[in-house]
Structure 1
Amino acid sequence: MAGPADDSKGFILDTDDGEIEVGIREIEELAASEDPAGMYALGYAYLFGVCKDIDKGRGYDLLEKAAEKGNPEAKVLLVRMTFEGDYFGLDTEKCVQYSKDAADEGIAEGQLYYGVALMDGEGVEADPAAAAEMFRKAAMQGNQEARNSLAYMYLEGNGVEQDTGKAFTMFRTAAKAGNVNSQYQMGVCYETGTGCEKSYAEALRWYRKAADQGDAYAEDRIGIMYYNGDSTLKADPKKSFEWFLRAASNGIVDSMYSVGCYYADGFGCEKDISEARKWLNMAKDNGHEEAGTLLDRLADL
Protein backbone atom coordinates (compact mmCIF):
# COMPACT_ATOMS: atom_id res chain seq x y z
CA MET A 1 0.00 0.00 0.00
CA ALA A 2 1.39 3.39 -0.92
CA GLY A 3 2.17 5.82 1.85
CA PRO A 4 4.74 8.22 3.31
CA ALA A 5 8.20 6.86 4.02
CA ASP A 6 9.32 6.70 7.64
CA ASP A 7 11.54 9.77 7.30
CA SER A 8 8.67 11.81 5.75
CA LYS A 9 10.96 12.85 2.86
CA GLY A 10 9.30 10.68 0.28
CA PHE A 11 6.76 7.96 -0.38
CA ILE A 12 6.70 4.22 -0.66
CA LEU A 13 4.85 3.24 -3.84
CA ASP A 14 3.69 -0.18 -4.97
CA THR A 15 4.88 -0.93 -8.49
CA ASP A 16 5.05 -3.97 -10.73
CA ASP A 17 8.65 -4.35 -9.57
CA GLY A 18 7.75 -4.14 -5.89
CA GLU A 19 7.84 -1.27 -3.41
CA ILE A 20 10.04 1.71 -4.25
CA GLU A 21 10.76 4.93 -2.38
CA VAL A 22 10.33 8.11 -4.38
CA GLY A 23 10.67 11.79 -3.54
CA ILE A 24 8.00 14.44 -3.73
CA ARG A 25 9.25 15.73 -7.10
CA GLU A 26 8.93 12.28 -8.62
CA ILE A 27 5.46 12.02 -7.08
CA GLU A 28 4.48 15.30 -8.72
CA GLU A 29 5.77 14.05 -12.07
CA LEU A 30 3.83 10.81 -11.72
CA ALA A 31 0.68 12.69 -10.75
CA ALA A 32 1.09 15.05 -13.71
CA SER A 33 1.18 12.01 -15.99
CA GLU A 34 -2.06 10.84 -14.32
CA ASP A 35 -0.41 7.80 -12.78
CA PRO A 36 -2.98 6.55 -10.20
CA ALA A 37 -0.43 5.76 -7.49
CA GLY A 38 1.26 9.12 -8.03
CA MET A 39 -2.04 11.00 -7.81
CA TYR A 40 -2.91 9.11 -4.63
CA ALA A 41 0.45 9.88 -3.04
CA LEU A 42 0.34 13.57 -3.97
CA GLY A 43 -3.26 13.81 -2.80
CA TYR A 44 -2.19 12.25 0.50
CA ALA A 45 0.66 14.75 0.74
CA TYR A 46 -1.69 17.71 0.32
CA LEU A 47 -4.31 16.25 2.63
CA PHE A 48 -1.97 15.56 5.56
CA GLY A 49 0.83 18.05 4.97
CA VAL A 50 3.54 15.54 4.05
CA CYS A 51 6.24 17.47 2.16
CA LYS A 52 3.50 19.93 1.16
CA ASP A 53 1.42 22.62 2.83
CA ILE A 54 -2.02 21.27 3.63
CA ASP A 55 -4.49 21.91 0.81
CA LYS A 56 -7.50 19.66 1.29
CA GLY A 57 -9.22 20.82 -1.88
CA ARG A 58 -6.28 19.78 -4.06
CA GLY A 59 -5.78 16.68 -1.97
CA TYR A 60 -9.31 15.43 -2.41
CA ASP A 61 -9.30 16.31 -6.11
CA LEU A 62 -6.23 14.14 -6.66
CA LEU A 63 -7.62 11.31 -4.55
CA GLU A 64 -10.88 11.37 -6.50
CA LYS A 65 -9.00 11.13 -9.79
CA ALA A 66 -6.83 8.30 -8.46
CA ALA A 67 -9.90 6.45 -7.20
CA GLU A 68 -11.66 6.85 -10.54
CA LYS A 69 -8.63 5.24 -12.17
CA GLY A 70 -8.97 2.29 -9.81
CA ASN A 71 -6.38 3.03 -7.12
CA PRO A 72 -7.58 1.05 -4.07
CA GLU A 73 -5.61 3.10 -1.53
CA ALA A 74 -7.29 6.28 -2.75
CA LYS A 75 -10.67 4.59 -2.55
CA VAL A 76 -10.26 3.42 1.02
CA LEU A 77 -8.83 6.77 2.14
CA LEU A 78 -11.87 8.58 0.72
CA VAL A 79 -14.11 6.11 2.54
CA ARG A 80 -12.21 6.69 5.79
CA MET A 81 -12.54 10.45 5.50
CA THR A 82 -16.25 9.98 4.76
CA PHE A 83 -16.69 7.91 7.93
CA GLU A 84 -14.82 10.56 9.91
CA GLY A 85 -17.06 13.31 8.56
CA ASP A 86 -14.28 15.16 6.75
CA TYR A 87 -15.32 14.36 3.19
CA PHE A 88 -18.75 14.56 1.57
CA GLY A 89 -18.05 13.62 -2.04
CA LEU A 90 -19.20 9.99 -1.83
CA ASP A 91 -22.82 8.90 -1.76
CA THR A 92 -23.68 5.72 0.13
CA GLU A 93 -23.59 3.53 -2.96
CA LYS A 94 -20.14 4.68 -4.06
CA CYS A 95 -18.82 4.54 -0.49
CA VAL A 96 -19.85 0.89 -0.27
CA GLN A 97 -18.46 0.12 -3.72
CA TYR A 98 -15.11 1.71 -2.90
CA SER A 99 -14.99 -0.24 0.37
CA LYS A 100 -15.69 -3.48 -1.49
CA ASP A 101 -13.10 -2.68 -4.15
CA ALA A 102 -10.44 -2.12 -1.49
CA ALA A 103 -11.56 -5.23 0.39
CA ASP A 104 -11.28 -7.30 -2.79
CA GLU A 105 -7.69 -6.03 -3.09
CA GLY A 106 -7.01 -7.39 0.39
CA ILE A 107 -6.73 -3.99 2.09
CA ALA A 108 -7.65 -4.43 5.75
CA GLU A 109 -9.25 -1.02 6.12
CA GLY A 110 -11.45 -1.72 3.10
CA GLN A 111 -12.47 -5.03 4.67
CA LEU A 112 -13.35 -3.17 7.86
CA TYR A 113 -15.55 -0.59 6.13
CA TYR A 114 -17.21 -3.13 3.86
CA GLY A 115 -17.90 -5.24 6.95
CA VAL A 116 -19.57 -2.24 8.59
CA ALA A 117 -21.77 -1.76 5.50
CA LEU A 118 -22.75 -5.44 5.50
CA MET A 119 -23.49 -5.37 9.21
CA ASP A 120 -25.62 -2.21 9.08
CA GLY A 121 -27.23 -2.83 5.70
CA GLU A 122 -26.11 0.59 4.47
CA GLY A 123 -26.01 0.65 0.67
CA VAL A 124 -26.02 -3.14 0.53
CA GLU A 125 -28.29 -5.89 1.85
CA ALA A 126 -27.49 -6.65 5.47
CA ASP A 127 -25.51 -9.87 5.86
CA PRO A 128 -24.11 -10.32 9.38
CA ALA A 129 -22.31 -13.55 8.49
CA ALA A 130 -20.53 -11.89 5.57
CA ALA A 131 -19.76 -8.90 7.79
CA ALA A 132 -18.16 -11.18 10.35
CA GLU A 133 -16.01 -12.73 7.63
CA MET A 134 -14.86 -9.29 6.48
CA PHE A 135 -13.99 -8.32 10.05
CA ARG A 136 -12.15 -11.61 10.49
CA LYS A 137 -10.02 -11.00 7.38
CA ALA A 138 -9.15 -7.48 8.51
CA ALA A 139 -8.40 -8.64 12.05
CA MET A 140 -6.01 -11.28 10.70
CA GLN A 141 -4.07 -8.40 9.15
CA GLY A 142 -3.87 -6.64 12.51
CA ASN A 143 -6.79 -4.21 12.17
CA GLN A 144 -7.89 -3.81 15.77
CA GLU A 145 -11.12 -1.94 15.04
CA ALA A 146 -12.20 -4.92 12.94
CA ARG A 147 -11.23 -7.25 15.78
CA ASN A 148 -13.30 -5.13 18.15
CA SER A 149 -16.29 -5.31 15.79
CA LEU A 150 -15.95 -9.08 15.43
CA ALA A 151 -15.76 -9.41 19.21
CA TYR A 152 -19.09 -7.56 19.52
CA MET A 153 -20.61 -10.00 17.04
CA TYR A 154 -19.47 -12.94 19.16
CA LEU A 155 -20.73 -11.17 22.27
CA GLU A 156 -24.21 -10.75 20.78
CA GLY A 157 -24.34 -13.86 18.59
CA ASN A 158 -24.85 -11.69 15.52
CA GLY A 159 -23.72 -13.42 12.32
CA VAL A 160 -21.77 -15.98 14.36
CA GLU A 161 -22.57 -18.40 17.14
CA GLN A 162 -22.57 -16.53 20.44
CA ASP A 163 -19.39 -17.12 22.40
CA THR A 164 -18.69 -14.65 25.21
CA GLY A 165 -15.36 -16.28 25.98
CA LYS A 166 -14.16 -15.76 22.42
CA ALA A 167 -15.53 -12.22 22.49
CA PHE A 168 -13.57 -11.50 25.67
CA THR A 169 -10.36 -12.88 24.16
CA MET A 170 -10.76 -10.71 21.07
CA PHE A 171 -11.56 -7.62 23.12
CA ARG A 172 -8.44 -8.27 25.21
CA THR A 173 -6.19 -8.60 22.16
CA ALA A 174 -7.50 -5.36 20.65
CA ALA A 175 -7.43 -3.59 24.01
CA LYS A 176 -3.80 -4.52 24.61
CA ALA A 177 -3.02 -3.12 21.17
CA GLY A 178 -4.54 0.20 22.27
CA ASN A 179 -8.05 0.03 20.82
CA VAL A 180 -10.06 2.35 23.05
CA ASN A 181 -13.43 0.74 22.31
CA SER A 182 -12.09 -2.65 23.35
CA GLN A 183 -10.51 -1.18 26.47
CA TYR A 184 -13.91 0.15 27.49
CA GLN A 185 -15.54 -3.19 26.72
CA MET A 186 -12.91 -5.00 28.80
CA GLY A 187 -14.08 -2.87 31.70
CA VAL A 188 -17.68 -3.91 31.02
CA CYS A 189 -16.70 -7.58 30.77
CA TYR A 190 -14.84 -7.54 34.07
CA GLU A 191 -17.53 -5.49 35.79
CA THR A 192 -20.30 -7.88 34.71
CA GLY A 193 -18.36 -11.15 34.53
CA THR A 194 -19.02 -11.55 30.81
CA GLY A 195 -16.63 -14.11 29.34
CA CYS A 196 -14.43 -13.88 32.43
CA GLU A 197 -14.58 -13.82 36.21
CA LYS A 198 -15.87 -10.60 37.74
CA SER A 199 -13.15 -8.26 38.94
CA TYR A 200 -13.89 -4.73 40.09
CA ALA A 201 -10.18 -3.95 40.14
CA GLU A 202 -9.65 -5.14 36.56
CA ALA A 203 -12.76 -3.33 35.40
CA LEU A 204 -11.46 -0.10 36.90
CA ARG A 205 -8.02 -0.65 35.35
CA TRP A 206 -9.43 -1.04 31.85
CA TYR A 207 -11.91 1.80 32.23
CA ARG A 208 -8.98 4.01 33.23
CA LYS A 209 -7.05 3.00 30.11
CA ALA A 210 -10.04 3.94 27.97
CA ALA A 211 -10.55 7.18 29.90
CA ASP A 212 -6.89 8.07 29.38
CA GLN A 213 -7.67 7.99 25.66
CA GLY A 214 -10.64 10.31 26.14
CA ASP A 215 -13.50 7.80 26.30
CA ALA A 216 -16.25 9.70 28.11
CA TYR A 217 -18.35 6.58 28.71
CA ALA A 218 -15.43 5.06 30.59
CA GLU A 219 -15.22 8.22 32.70
CA ASP A 220 -18.89 7.82 33.56
CA ARG A 221 -18.40 4.16 34.55
CA ILE A 222 -15.49 5.10 36.82
CA GLY A 223 -17.72 7.67 38.49
CA ILE A 224 -20.30 4.95 39.11
CA MET A 225 -17.68 2.55 40.46
CA TYR A 226 -16.37 5.10 42.95
CA TYR A 227 -19.96 5.84 43.97
CA ASN A 228 -20.82 2.18 44.59
CA GLY A 229 -17.51 0.79 45.82
CA ASP A 230 -17.04 -2.88 46.65
CA SER A 231 -14.79 -5.11 48.74
CA THR A 232 -11.75 -4.17 46.65
CA LEU A 233 -12.54 -0.49 46.07
CA LYS A 234 -13.60 1.92 48.78
CA ALA A 235 -16.47 4.20 47.80
CA ASP A 236 -15.13 7.71 47.35
CA PRO A 237 -17.71 10.49 46.74
CA LYS A 238 -15.02 13.05 45.86
CA LYS A 239 -13.44 10.85 43.19
CA SER A 240 -16.87 9.85 41.96
CA PHE A 241 -17.79 13.52 41.52
CA GLU A 242 -14.53 14.29 39.72
CA TRP A 243 -15.06 11.48 37.21
CA PHE A 244 -18.70 12.37 36.66
CA LEU A 245 -17.65 15.97 36.06
CA ARG A 246 -15.14 14.86 33.44
CA ALA A 247 -17.72 12.70 31.69
CA ALA A 248 -20.36 15.43 31.88
CA SER A 249 -17.95 17.95 30.40
CA ASN A 250 -17.45 15.48 27.54
CA GLY A 251 -21.16 15.23 26.81
CA ILE A 252 -22.45 12.24 28.81
CA VAL A 253 -26.02 13.16 29.76
CA ASP A 254 -26.35 10.78 32.73
CA SER A 255 -23.16 12.28 34.14
CA MET A 256 -24.60 15.80 33.76
CA TYR A 257 -27.51 14.66 35.90
CA SER A 258 -25.19 13.05 38.45
CA VAL A 259 -23.08 16.22 38.72
CA GLY A 260 -26.25 18.24 39.26
CA CYS A 261 -27.34 15.87 42.03
CA TYR A 262 -23.93 16.01 43.70
CA TYR A 263 -23.93 19.81 43.69
CA ALA A 264 -27.50 19.90 44.99
CA ASP A 265 -26.65 17.65 47.95
CA GLY A 266 -23.05 18.72 48.52
CA PHE A 267 -22.04 15.10 47.95
CA GLY A 268 -18.38 14.78 47.00
CA CYS A 269 -18.18 18.56 46.51
CA GLU A 270 -19.30 21.79 48.10
CA LYS A 271 -23.03 22.37 47.88
CA ASP A 272 -23.80 24.82 45.09
CA ILE A 273 -27.42 25.20 43.99
CA SER A 274 -26.46 27.46 41.09
CA GLU A 275 -24.10 24.83 39.69
CA ALA A 276 -26.70 22.15 40.36
CA ARG A 277 -29.25 24.02 38.28
CA LYS A 278 -26.73 24.57 35.49
CA TRP A 279 -25.90 20.88 35.11
CA LEU A 280 -29.46 19.71 35.60
CA ASN A 281 -30.65 22.11 32.92
CA MET A 282 -27.98 20.73 30.59
CA ALA A 283 -29.18 17.20 31.32
CA LYS A 284 -32.82 18.21 30.83
CA ASP A 285 -32.03 19.92 27.53
CA ASN A 286 -30.49 16.65 26.40
CA GLY A 287 -33.60 14.64 27.25
CA HIS A 288 -32.97 13.48 30.83
CA GLU A 289 -36.46 13.30 32.37
CA GLU A 290 -35.44 13.04 36.03
CA ALA A 291 -33.40 16.23 35.73
CA GLY A 292 -36.59 18.23 35.21
CA THR A 293 -38.15 16.72 38.34
CA LEU A 294 -35.15 17.68 40.46
CA LEU A 295 -35.09 21.18 38.97
CA ASP A 296 -38.69 21.66 40.10
CA ARG A 297 -37.65 20.72 43.64
CA LEU A 298 -34.80 23.25 43.51
CA ALA A 299 -36.96 26.05 42.09
CA ASP A 300 -37.60 27.79 45.40
CA LEU A 301 -34.10 27.37 46.84
Structure 2
Amino acid sequence: MISPAARDALQSWLATERALKGAAENTITAYTRDVSDFLTFMTQHKAEPQGLRPLAQIGVSDMRAWMAHTRSDDVGPRSLARKLSAVKSFYRWLSEREGFEPTAVLATRSPKFQRKLPRPLSEDAARAVIDTVDMQSQTPWISIRDQAVITLLYGCGLRISEALSLTGANIPLGEALRIIGKGGKERVVPVLPAARAAVAAYSRLCPYPIEPDTPLFLGARGGKLSPRIVQKVMAQARMQLGLPATATPHAMRHSFATHLLNAGGDLRAIQELLGHASLSTTQAYTGVETARLMEVYQRAHPKA
Protein backbone atom coordinates (compact mmCIF):
# COMPACT_ATOMS: atom_id res chain seq x y z
CA MET A 1 0.00 0.00 0.00
CA ILE A 2 1.11 3.56 -0.70
CA SER A 3 1.05 5.89 2.29
CA PRO A 4 -1.48 8.75 2.23
CA ALA A 5 1.35 11.31 2.26
CA ALA A 6 3.07 9.67 -0.74
CA ARG A 7 -0.25 9.37 -2.58
CA ASP A 8 -1.02 13.05 -1.98
CA ALA A 9 2.46 14.02 -3.18
CA LEU A 10 2.01 11.95 -6.33
CA GLN A 11 -1.33 13.59 -7.08
CA SER A 12 0.13 17.06 -6.51
CA TRP A 13 3.01 16.31 -8.87
CA LEU A 14 0.64 14.99 -11.53
CA ALA A 15 -1.47 18.13 -11.21
CA THR A 16 1.67 20.22 -11.72
CA GLU A 17 2.66 18.21 -14.81
CA ARG A 18 -0.83 18.62 -16.24
CA ALA A 19 -1.28 22.32 -15.45
CA LEU A 20 2.17 23.84 -15.87
CA LYS A 21 3.78 21.53 -18.41
CA GLY A 22 0.67 20.62 -20.41
CA ALA A 23 1.32 16.88 -20.15
CA ALA A 24 -1.06 14.81 -22.28
CA GLU A 25 -3.53 12.49 -20.56
CA ASN A 26 -1.73 9.42 -21.92
CA THR A 27 1.46 10.74 -20.34
CA ILE A 28 -0.31 11.37 -17.02
CA THR A 29 -1.71 7.83 -17.09
CA ALA A 30 1.76 6.37 -17.70
CA TYR A 31 3.30 8.56 -14.96
CA THR A 32 0.60 7.47 -12.50
CA ARG A 33 1.18 3.80 -13.20
CA ASP A 34 4.98 3.96 -13.22
CA VAL A 35 5.43 6.02 -10.05
CA SER A 36 2.68 4.13 -8.20
CA ASP A 37 4.44 0.86 -9.02
CA PHE A 38 7.70 2.32 -7.71
CA LEU A 39 6.11 3.51 -4.46
CA THR A 40 4.35 0.17 -3.97
CA PHE A 41 7.61 -1.71 -4.45
CA MET A 42 9.43 0.50 -1.93
CA THR A 43 6.69 -0.14 0.64
CA GLN A 44 7.12 -3.90 0.20
CA HIS A 45 10.91 -3.68 -0.04
CA LYS A 46 11.20 -1.68 3.19
CA ALA A 47 8.36 -3.60 4.85
CA GLU A 48 6.80 -0.37 6.09
CA PRO A 49 4.71 2.51 4.71
CA GLN A 50 6.85 4.94 2.76
CA GLY A 51 5.98 8.42 3.94
CA LEU A 52 7.81 11.48 2.69
CA ARG A 53 10.73 11.11 5.13
CA PRO A 54 11.50 7.48 4.17
CA LEU A 55 11.18 8.38 0.48
CA ALA A 56 13.82 11.05 0.99
CA GLN A 57 16.17 8.37 2.31
CA ILE A 58 16.00 5.99 -0.67
CA GLY A 59 19.52 4.82 -1.40
CA VAL A 60 21.52 3.29 -4.24
CA SER A 61 20.84 -0.27 -3.06
CA ASP A 62 17.10 0.44 -2.99
CA MET A 63 17.17 1.71 -6.56
CA ARG A 64 19.14 -1.36 -7.66
CA ALA A 65 16.58 -3.61 -6.00
CA TRP A 66 13.72 -1.83 -7.77
CA MET A 67 15.49 -2.05 -11.14
CA ALA A 68 16.16 -5.78 -10.66
CA HIS A 69 12.58 -6.43 -9.57
CA THR A 70 11.20 -4.54 -12.57
CA ARG A 71 13.44 -6.44 -14.98
CA SER A 72 12.26 -9.73 -13.47
CA ASP A 73 8.72 -8.89 -14.62
CA ASP A 74 9.89 -9.15 -18.25
CA VAL A 75 10.05 -5.38 -18.62
CA GLY A 76 12.37 -4.49 -21.50
CA PRO A 77 15.15 -1.90 -21.37
CA ARG A 78 13.10 0.72 -23.23
CA SER A 79 10.13 0.40 -20.85
CA LEU A 80 12.41 0.38 -17.81
CA ALA A 81 14.08 3.55 -19.03
CA ARG A 82 10.65 5.19 -19.35
CA LYS A 83 9.69 4.13 -15.82
CA LEU A 84 12.97 5.42 -14.41
CA SER A 85 12.48 8.73 -16.20
CA ALA A 86 9.05 9.12 -14.57
CA VAL A 87 10.44 8.31 -11.11
CA LYS A 88 13.28 10.83 -11.58
CA SER A 89 10.84 13.55 -12.66
CA PHE A 90 8.73 12.89 -9.56
CA TYR A 91 11.80 12.99 -7.31
CA ARG A 92 13.08 16.26 -8.79
CA TRP A 93 9.76 17.87 -7.92
CA LEU A 94 9.48 16.18 -4.51
CA SER A 95 13.05 17.06 -3.45
CA GLU A 96 12.51 20.73 -4.33
CA ARG A 97 9.28 20.80 -2.35
CA GLU A 98 10.56 18.87 0.68
CA GLY A 99 14.14 20.11 0.65
CA PHE A 100 16.19 16.92 0.43
CA GLU A 101 18.98 15.70 -1.85
CA PRO A 102 17.74 13.12 -4.40
CA THR A 103 21.18 12.04 -5.62
CA ALA A 104 20.62 8.27 -5.26
CA VAL A 105 17.55 8.40 -7.49
CA LEU A 106 18.77 10.92 -10.04
CA ALA A 107 22.18 9.25 -10.39
CA THR A 108 20.62 5.88 -11.30
CA ARG A 109 21.72 5.02 -14.81
CA SER A 110 19.11 4.34 -17.43
CA PRO A 111 19.47 0.95 -19.16
CA LYS A 112 20.92 1.07 -22.65
CA PHE A 113 18.68 0.10 -25.53
CA GLN A 114 18.73 0.25 -29.29
CA ARG A 115 16.70 3.26 -30.33
CA LYS A 116 14.23 2.26 -33.01
CA LEU A 117 14.58 4.23 -36.21
CA PRO A 118 11.45 5.49 -37.95
CA ARG A 119 10.41 3.33 -40.90
CA PRO A 120 9.39 5.72 -43.67
CA LEU A 121 8.05 4.73 -47.07
CA SER A 122 9.75 5.72 -50.28
CA GLU A 123 8.21 8.65 -52.12
CA ASP A 124 6.79 6.34 -54.78
CA ALA A 125 5.32 4.03 -52.13
CA ALA A 126 3.73 6.93 -50.25
CA ARG A 127 2.06 8.16 -53.45
CA ALA A 128 0.94 4.63 -54.28
CA VAL A 129 -0.67 4.26 -50.85
CA ILE A 130 -2.68 7.45 -51.34
CA ASP A 131 -3.83 6.30 -54.77
CA THR A 132 -4.69 2.80 -53.54
CA VAL A 133 -6.63 4.00 -50.49
CA ASP A 134 -8.99 5.79 -52.86
CA MET A 135 -10.01 2.41 -54.31
CA GLN A 136 -10.67 0.53 -51.05
CA SER A 137 -14.36 1.29 -50.55
CA GLN A 138 -17.29 0.86 -52.91
CA THR A 139 -18.88 3.94 -51.35
CA PRO A 140 -17.44 7.01 -53.12
CA TRP A 141 -17.59 9.44 -50.21
CA ILE A 142 -15.85 6.95 -47.88
CA SER A 143 -13.09 6.36 -50.43
CA ILE A 144 -12.38 10.07 -50.78
CA ARG A 145 -12.60 10.49 -46.99
CA ASP A 146 -9.93 7.85 -46.45
CA GLN A 147 -7.75 9.39 -49.12
CA ALA A 148 -8.13 12.83 -47.53
CA VAL A 149 -7.05 11.55 -44.10
CA ILE A 150 -3.99 9.72 -45.45
CA THR A 151 -3.07 12.72 -47.59
CA LEU A 152 -3.09 14.93 -44.48
CA LEU A 153 -0.86 12.48 -42.60
CA TYR A 154 1.69 12.53 -45.39
CA GLY A 155 1.25 16.07 -46.73
CA CYS A 156 1.20 17.83 -43.35
CA GLY A 157 3.05 15.35 -41.11
CA LEU A 158 0.06 14.98 -38.80
CA ARG A 159 -0.44 12.31 -36.18
CA ILE A 160 -3.60 10.29 -36.79
CA SER A 161 -5.13 11.75 -33.60
CA GLU A 162 -4.44 15.27 -34.87
CA ALA A 163 -6.07 14.63 -38.25
CA LEU A 164 -9.16 13.12 -36.62
CA SER A 165 -9.40 16.02 -34.15
CA LEU A 166 -10.03 18.53 -36.94
CA THR A 167 -13.53 19.98 -37.01
CA GLY A 168 -15.84 21.56 -39.55
CA ALA A 169 -14.44 24.93 -38.46
CA ASN A 170 -11.23 23.99 -40.31
CA ILE A 171 -12.89 23.87 -43.74
CA PRO A 172 -12.22 25.04 -46.27
CA LEU A 173 -8.55 24.41 -45.52
CA GLY A 174 -6.32 27.40 -46.06
CA GLU A 175 -2.64 27.47 -46.88
CA ALA A 176 -1.78 26.75 -43.24
CA LEU A 177 -3.36 24.75 -40.46
CA ARG A 178 -3.14 25.38 -36.72
CA ILE A 179 -2.67 22.08 -34.89
CA ILE A 180 -2.87 21.32 -31.17
CA GLY A 181 -0.53 18.39 -30.65
CA LYS A 182 0.78 16.37 -27.70
CA GLY A 183 0.71 18.16 -24.38
CA GLY A 184 -1.37 20.98 -25.88
CA LYS A 185 1.63 22.15 -27.91
CA GLU A 186 0.46 24.36 -30.77
CA ARG A 187 2.07 24.54 -34.19
CA VAL A 188 1.25 25.85 -37.66
CA VAL A 189 1.79 23.57 -40.65
CA PRO A 190 1.54 24.46 -44.33
CA VAL A 191 -1.16 22.64 -46.30
CA LEU A 192 -0.29 21.43 -49.78
CA PRO A 193 -2.80 22.02 -52.62
CA ALA A 194 -3.30 18.24 -52.94
CA ALA A 195 -4.39 18.03 -49.30
CA ARG A 196 -6.73 21.01 -49.66
CA ALA A 197 -8.27 19.47 -52.76
CA ALA A 198 -8.73 16.06 -51.11
CA VAL A 199 -10.46 17.52 -48.05
CA ALA A 200 -12.64 19.78 -50.22
CA ALA A 201 -13.73 16.79 -52.32
CA TYR A 202 -14.58 14.83 -49.20
CA SER A 203 -16.60 17.67 -47.64
CA ARG A 204 -18.64 17.98 -50.84
CA LEU A 205 -19.44 14.26 -51.01
CA CYS A 206 -20.01 13.59 -47.28
CA PRO A 207 -23.73 12.79 -46.82
CA TYR A 208 -23.78 14.10 -43.26
CA PRO A 209 -23.71 17.77 -42.24
CA ILE A 210 -20.25 18.91 -41.15
CA GLU A 211 -20.78 21.68 -38.62
CA PRO A 212 -18.11 23.98 -37.15
CA ASP A 213 -18.33 22.16 -33.81
CA THR A 214 -18.49 18.60 -35.18
CA PRO A 215 -15.62 16.35 -36.31
CA LEU A 216 -14.45 16.95 -39.85
CA PHE A 217 -13.96 13.26 -40.60
CA LEU A 218 -17.08 11.19 -40.02
CA GLY A 219 -17.69 7.46 -39.92
CA ALA A 220 -20.17 5.53 -42.04
CA ARG A 221 -22.99 6.25 -39.56
CA GLY A 222 -22.17 9.91 -39.07
CA GLY A 223 -20.16 9.68 -35.84
CA LYS A 224 -16.52 10.61 -35.37
CA LEU A 225 -14.21 8.50 -37.52
CA SER A 226 -12.31 5.91 -35.49
CA PRO A 227 -8.51 5.59 -35.80
CA ARG A 228 -9.02 1.85 -36.21
CA ILE A 229 -10.83 2.43 -39.50
CA VAL A 230 -7.87 4.41 -40.83
CA GLN A 231 -5.48 1.70 -39.64
CA LYS A 232 -7.59 -0.96 -41.35
CA VAL A 233 -7.68 0.99 -44.61
CA MET A 234 -3.91 1.44 -44.47
CA ALA A 235 -3.44 -2.30 -43.82
CA GLN A 236 -5.53 -3.16 -46.88
CA ALA A 237 -3.50 -0.81 -49.07
CA ARG A 238 -0.29 -2.23 -47.61
CA MET A 239 -1.29 -5.77 -48.54
CA GLN A 240 -2.31 -4.76 -52.04
CA LEU A 241 0.99 -3.01 -52.65
CA GLY A 242 3.13 -5.66 -50.95
CA LEU A 243 4.53 -3.20 -48.41
CA PRO A 244 5.96 -4.28 -45.02
CA ALA A 245 4.00 -4.28 -41.77
CA THR A 246 5.75 -1.04 -40.81
CA ALA A 247 3.68 0.79 -43.45
CA THR A 248 1.18 2.15 -40.92
CA PRO A 249 -0.67 5.49 -40.78
CA HIS A 250 2.11 6.82 -38.55
CA ALA A 251 4.66 5.79 -41.19
CA MET A 252 3.12 8.43 -43.45
CA ARG A 253 4.14 11.07 -40.89
CA HIS A 254 7.64 9.59 -40.75
CA SER A 255 7.74 9.68 -44.55
CA PHE A 256 6.78 13.37 -44.55
CA ALA A 257 9.74 14.18 -42.29
CA THR A 258 12.25 11.96 -44.09
CA HIS A 259 11.35 13.23 -47.54
CA LEU A 260 11.64 16.82 -46.34
CA LEU A 261 15.09 16.03 -44.94
CA ASN A 262 16.09 14.39 -48.23
CA ALA A 263 15.07 17.54 -50.06
CA GLY A 264 17.38 19.64 -47.90
CA GLY A 265 14.93 20.63 -45.19
CA ASP A 266 16.32 22.23 -42.03
CA LEU A 267 16.17 19.93 -39.00
CA ARG A 268 14.89 22.72 -36.72
CA ALA A 269 12.13 23.58 -39.18
CA ILE A 270 11.12 19.91 -39.43
CA GLN A 271 11.05 19.75 -35.62
CA GLU A 272 8.57 22.65 -35.59
CA LEU A 273 6.42 21.09 -38.32
CA LEU A 274 6.24 17.77 -36.48
CA GLY A 275 5.61 19.35 -33.09
CA HIS A 276 8.52 17.55 -31.40
CA ALA A 277 9.34 19.00 -27.99
CA SER A 278 12.97 17.89 -28.32
CA LEU A 279 15.30 18.15 -31.29
CA SER A 280 16.75 14.76 -30.33
CA THR A 281 13.45 13.16 -31.36
CA THR A 282 13.66 14.77 -34.78
CA GLN A 283 17.31 13.78 -35.12
CA ALA A 284 16.18 10.15 -35.41
CA TYR A 285 15.46 10.95 -39.05
CA THR A 286 19.13 11.66 -39.68
CA GLY A 287 19.70 8.11 -38.42
CA VAL A 288 17.31 6.85 -41.08
CA GLU A 289 19.36 8.50 -43.78
CA THR A 290 22.64 7.19 -42.34
CA ALA A 291 21.24 3.64 -42.25
CA ARG A 292 20.01 3.99 -45.82
CA LEU A 293 23.38 5.28 -47.03
CA MET A 294 25.10 2.30 -45.40
CA GLU A 295 22.73 -0.10 -47.18
CA VAL A 296 23.56 1.53 -50.52
CA TYR A 297 27.28 1.39 -49.70
CA GLN A 298 27.12 -2.30 -48.79
CA ARG A 299 25.24 -3.17 -51.98
CA ALA A 300 27.84 -1.32 -54.03
CA HIS A 301 30.72 -2.82 -52.08
CA PRO A 302 29.61 -6.32 -51.00
CA LYS A 303 33.09 -7.17 -49.73
CA ALA A 304 33.22 -4.19 -47.44
Query: Normalized against structure 2, the TM-score is what?
Result: 0.24
- Higher RCO (Cα < 8 Å, 6 or more apart): 2
Normalised TM-score (structure 1): 0.24
